[in-house]
């Protein structure tokens, strides 16, 4: 029976592909494949995952953070930090203030050096701005079902009950440094057919929709170019698909052609340094956002399992901030994570307001931070520069 529709069998899947277009000018019949469809589910079905004791709430994509168990032994109680009988409050000299001002002016192409070099300093006033910082280093654990191509890895599901998520040993972290470790939970690994290719190891080629060939672009599928047989497709009207080498299918990306997956529970151990700052504002006139770019002198440091709020500091605002942040951190992080270490520091960012006269008029500038940065909004000798 000539020129009758045929059901062409996909060579890898046995999927019927109906479609028929008569060839022009007596050429061979051209079969047009249907639109490509996804062969398997895009996400693993729930039935793919076994029920593991202690991990019943684990799902693909993550099941949320797991609260740590109640400590089996009493945890160390916080104790007051080391006493500081003498809080060292540094100040800068007039020479340092002048040198910083000269360096500031020399870095500005449109600033004359006159005010910096010849101005007369009449008054210097120090403003001590304190930065209190509390860091709480925590460990959180979460689980999710995961999979990888099966290449003969050990299969241990149901050999014995898996250990709990907080019973699995992890590496020792560096305190106050963010890090993460992925651990395959023991006794949860099993082998399943790949859900993407349904255990075939291959999937229909999207470029040719599983037929192994594509419409000839030279003759547009007719098999002829004018009255001559098309040389590009030898009159077939179609060419082998380059993407799949004419096979009609490609290796499954999920199982990498293995047809099977090792399915297991993945434990994510995450270490996070949670930090909060409190800066005491002073009425110096310098914008506080300038201080984020400079460092200060560390006056106090206390690191232990759980810190005790700072006591005896000469600024009451710092002590109140310490009390509030310590309480907030303990309530916030002890419920969802395991606190491993805390650290509190007090940093002094020096700010000096300098008043000087130049050509009979009074002006001010600020010197701040360990870097002796300068801010002079009303510098009196500037010019308009044009960059060619």
pLDDT in tens, the chain (388 residues): 444 333 333 334 433 333 333 334 444 433 444 444 455 666 788 778 888 888 888 888 776 678 888 775 556 666 676 655 455 556 789 999 999 999 999 998 888 889 999 999 999 998 878 999 999 999 999 999 999 999 999 999 999 999 999 999 999 999 999 999 999 999 999 999 999 999 999 999 999 999 999 999 999 989 998 889 999 999 999 999 999 999 999 999 999 999 999 999 999 999 999 999 998 887 888 988 888 888 898 989 999 999 999 988 888 999 999 999 999 999 999 888 999 999 999 999 989 999 999 999 999 999 999 999 999 988 998 875 544 4
In a domain, 299, yes or no: yes
CA–CA distance, 6 with 134 (Å, rounded to integer): 75
In a domain, 63, yes or no: no
Enter the tokens of residue 335: 């419920």
Whole-angstrom CA distances from 290 to 287, 295, 351 are: 6, 11, 11
- Residue 222: which domain range? 202-251
Q: Domain total for the chain?
A: 2
Query: Are residue 301 and residue 371 in the same domain, yes or no?
Result: yes
Q: For the chain, how many residues are written? A: 388
Query: Are residue 364 and residue 303 in the same domain, yes or no?
Result: yes
Q: Considering 251, 284, 310, which residue would you say is the last residue of a domain?
A: 251
In a domain, 387, yes or no: no
Query: Are residue 282 and residue 364 in the same domain, yes or no?
Result: yes
Query: Are residue 279 and residue 368 in the same domain, yes or no?
Result: yes
In a domain, 180, yes or no: no
CA–CA distance, 133 with 98 (Å, rounded to integer): 32
Query: Are residue 361 and residue 278 in the same domain, yes or no?
Result: yes
Query: Are residue 227 and residue 277 in the same domain, yes or no?
Result: no
Query: Are residue 215 and residue 130 in the same domain, yes or no?
Result: no
Query: Are residue 281 and residue 364 in the same domain, yes or no?
Result: yes
Query: Are residue 370 and residue 278 in the same domain, yes or no?
Result: yes
In a domain, 117, yes or no: yes
In a domain, 381, yes or no: no
Query: Are residue 277 and residue 370 in the same domain, yes or no?
Result: yes
In a domain, 111, yes or no: yes
Query: Are residue 224 and residue 276 in the same domain, yes or no?
Result: no
Grouping H, G, I as helix, E, B as strand and the rest as coil, residue 295 is: coil
Whole-angstrom CA distances from 79 to 175, 309, 335 are: 20, 9, 22
Query: Are residue 277 and residue 359 in the same domain, yes or no?
Result: yes
In a domain, 206, yes or no: yes
Owner of token pair 């109640």: 70
C-beta of residue 103 within 8 angstroms of C-beta of residue 373: no
């Amino acid at each position: 029976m000539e020129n009758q529709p045929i059901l062409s069998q996909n060579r890898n899947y046995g999927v019927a592909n109906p479609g028929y277009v008569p060839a022009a000018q007596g050429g061979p019949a051209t079969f047009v494949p249907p639109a490509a469809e996804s062969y398997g589910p895009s996400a693993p079905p729930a039935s793919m995952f076994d029920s593991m004791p202690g991990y019943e709430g684990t799902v693909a994509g993550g099941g949320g953070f797991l609260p740590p168990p109640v400590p089996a032994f009493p945890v160390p109680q916080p104790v007051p930090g080391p006493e500081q009988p003498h809080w060292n409050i540094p100040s800068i000299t007039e020479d340092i203030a002048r040198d910083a001002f000269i360096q500031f002016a020399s870095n500005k192409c449109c600033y004359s050096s006159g005010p910096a070099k010849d101005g007369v300093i009449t008054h210097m006033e120090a403003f001590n701005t304190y930065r209190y910082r509390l860091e709480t280093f925590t460990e959180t654990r979460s689980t999710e079902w995961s999979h990888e191509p099966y290449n003969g890895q050990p299969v241990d599901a149901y050999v014995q009950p898996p250990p709990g998520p907080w019973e699995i040993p992890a590496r020792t972290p560096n305190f106050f440094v963010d890090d993460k470790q992925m651990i395959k939970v023991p006794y949860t690994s099993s082998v399943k057919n790949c859900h993407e290719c349904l255990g075939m190891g291959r999937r229909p080629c999207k470029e040719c929709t599983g037929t192994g060939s594509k419409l000839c672009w030279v003759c547009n599928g007719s098999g002829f170019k004018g009255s001559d047989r098309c040389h590009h497709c030898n009159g077939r009207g179609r060419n082998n698909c380059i993407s799949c080498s004419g096979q009609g299918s490609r290796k499954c990306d999920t199982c990498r052609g293995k047809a099977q997956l090792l399915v297991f529970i993945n434990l994510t151990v995450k270490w996070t340094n949670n930090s909060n700052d409190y800066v005491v504002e002073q009425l110096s006139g310098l914008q506080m956002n300038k201080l984020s770019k400079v460092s200060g002198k560390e006056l106090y440091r206390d690191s232990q399992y759980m810190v005790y709020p700072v006591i005896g500091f000469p600024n009451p605002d710092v002590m109140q901030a310490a009390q509030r942040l310590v309480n907030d951190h303990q309530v916030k992080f002890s419920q969802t994570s395991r606190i491993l270490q805390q650290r509190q520091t007090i940093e002094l960012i020096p700010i000096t307001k300098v008043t000087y006269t130049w050509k009979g008029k009074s002006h001010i500038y600020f010197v701040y931070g360990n870097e002796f940065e300068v801010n002079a909004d009303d510098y009196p000798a500037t010019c308009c520069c044009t960059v060619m």
